[in-house]
Amino acid sequence: MNETIELMLSHRSIRKFTEEPMSEETVRTLVACAQAAATSSNVQAVSIIQVQDPERRQALAGYAGGQPYVASAATFFVFCADLSRPARACESRGGEFTPGMTEHFMIATIDVALAAQNMVLAAESLGLGICYIGGLRNNPREVADLLELPDQVYPVFGLCLGTPAQDPEVKPRLPVDAVLMQERYRSAEQADELVASYDDSLRTYYATRTGGKKNSSWSEEMKALVGKESRPHMREFLGQQGFTLK
Amino acid sequence: MNETIELMLSHRSIRKFTEEPMSEETVRTLVACAQAAATSSNVQAVSIIQVQDPERRQALAGYAGGQPYVASAATFFVFCADLSRPARACESRGGEFTPGMTEHFMIATIDVALAAQNMVLAAESLGLGICYIGGLRNNPREVADLLELPDQVYPVFGLCLGTPAQDPEVKPRLPVDAVLMQERYRSAEQADELVASYDDSLRTYYATRTGGKKNSSWSEEMKALVGKESRPHMREFLGQQGFTLK
């Protein structure tokens, strides 16, 4: 096992940060690392907005559902899927941008995630901690308005970064054999035992971490997560930004 | 700069591989690294199908639009967004899975991309080369049928891995200042000069690499990419897999 792999396997989200600020040089290195990730047809459909103003950070922390580390992290980035730049380039060469394709939406969203994960590992390799903030999608309209996002741009998630002021345990994952399949999809039924053993290990993890206060398993969490509508405003919001998903 | 960051900044896609096979141990390490990435609400909506059978590889290479390295790479993974596992877990606890949410589709797609990018960096840290195969989305119905993907599962992209048998240059990216913004979105107009300078550097890169045969710029590539419909079958295909995007 090497340094990079050890780094990955020790990943956990950090939600408490010291007050140590981040240098502009580090910010630019992190962005360059994000850009170095693979990108579909070189579209580079990623814009990264750094928000440092305390009032704006407070607003974002609120939009994210009251996550205080959005305000307190040394640095906060909003990762945006951005088809505005390629659309403009297309039109500068006499082309006519074709808006609303589901495939373009996917390309841009995937580009953003690949770039962000590069930034995350680069940050962690520098001793920083991170926390993704999908909660920005609780109030995407407000986030887009605050950041003045134009047509063809939407906020995929935020990212808190800073020097860790906590050292949480690594959260256990599903067994490799539940996720890795050979040649064809293995029916979910065949993974039931693996999921059951994972339910047990996650229950133990929570119990240990909270001194017995939290008693939950993965299956119970999934009931809460996919057993109801989730951010039902999302489709309409995406449409407002020009991602009509046709 | 450290090892991890150097690795990222030297990334390029590899499309020619030696015949050196990959050990099962390496495959399992790579999958564990993929799983270690952040995941939205711990949903872990990722299934990874390793395809090694030569006939099935040939079929996938064809579906991807005739990309021979899909057949010749030491290992080929299909990364699937998988809500079937959490849906089943939800129902095992008496919940009722709510299908078709755009937000769930996004969560699963982003989960897949974060996991894949971890695997990519882990592979590169072991001296392997990779190439993402978005081309699987050229014929997603055929790919899903070949892999026997059930409802609530779709193939996001493929990944070729193996020992590199070529050493291409790193492709230049947009300037950091075109991508990094402060406090709010900076209008595309303000980035026009940066894009123009990138157009020049990309044209030089292509000319050098092809002995003058390829004469193109980023803006011209974008005209070809977003100036027309892209995979217009995608929306219908996703609907067939239960991702109705409501």
Distance from CA of B230 to the nearest CA of A (A): 6
Interatomic CA distance for residues B220 and A106, integer angstroms: 21
A98 is written with which tokens?
Answer: 């074709």
CB contact under 8 A, B1 and A29: yes
Q: What is the pLDDT of residues A113-139, one digit of tens each?
A: 999 999 999 999 999 999 999 999 999
* Cα B68 to chain centroid, rounded: 17
All structural domains of chain B: 3-169+229-240 (3.40.109.10), 176-215 (no CATH)
Q: How high is the pLDDT of residue A144?
A: 98
Interatomic CA distance for residues B49 and B153, integer angstroms: 12
Q: Nearest-CA residue of chain B relative to A51?
A: B183
Please indicate if any CB of chain B lies within 8 Å of the CB of A23.
no
Please check the confidence at residue B188 and state whether its pLDDT lies above 90: no
Q: How high is the pLDDT of residue B143?
A: 98
CB contact under 8 A, A2 and B109: no
Which regions of chain A are under pLDDT 70? none
Residues of A with Cβ-Cβ distance to B198 under 8 angstroms: none
Residues of A with Cβ-Cβ distance to B137 under 8 angstroms: 103, 106
Q: What is the pLDDT of residues A217-235, one digit of tens each?
A: 999 999 999 999 999 999 9
Distance from CA of A62 to the nearest CA of B (A): 16
- Mean pLDDT of all residues in B181-206: 92
First to last CA, chain A: 45
Could you list the beta-strand ranges (E) of chain A. Answer: 46-50, 75-82, 129-133, 153-162, 180-182
Reported pTM = 0.98
| Secondary structure of B165-194 in HEC code, one letter for each residue | CCCCCCCCCCCHHHHEEECCCCCHHHHHHH
Residues 6 or more apart in contact with residue A144 via CB below 8 angstroms: A153, A154, A155, A237, A241
Interatomic CA distance for residues A64 and A45, integer angstroms: 23
Query: In 3-state terms, what secondary structure has residue B149?
Result: coil
Residues of A with Cβ-Cβ distance to B84 under 8 angstroms: 188
Question: Taking phi first (over 0 means left), then psi (-120 to 50 degrees means alpha), and beta for anything else, what does residue B42 get?
Answer: left
Interatomic CA distance for residues B32 and A52, integer angstroms: 35
Please check the confidence at residue B4 and state whether its pLDDT lies above 80: yes
B206 is written with which tokens?
Answer: 């292509």
- Mean pLDDT of all residues in B20-24: 97
Could you list the beta-strand ranges (E) of B6-95. Answer: 46-50, 75-82
Q: How high is the pLDDT of residue A191?
A: 86
CB contact under 8 A, B228 and A13: no
Q: How high is the pLDDT of residue B169?
A: 93
Pinpoint the alpha helices (H) of B36-148: 54-63, 68-72, 84-92, 102-125, 140-146
ipTM: 0.98
Please indicate if any CB of chain A lies within 8 Å of the CB of B73.
no
- Mean pLDDT of all residues in B79-88: 97
Q: Nearest-CA residue of chain A relative to B60?
A: A183
Q: Nearest-CA residue of chain B relative to A170?
A: B36
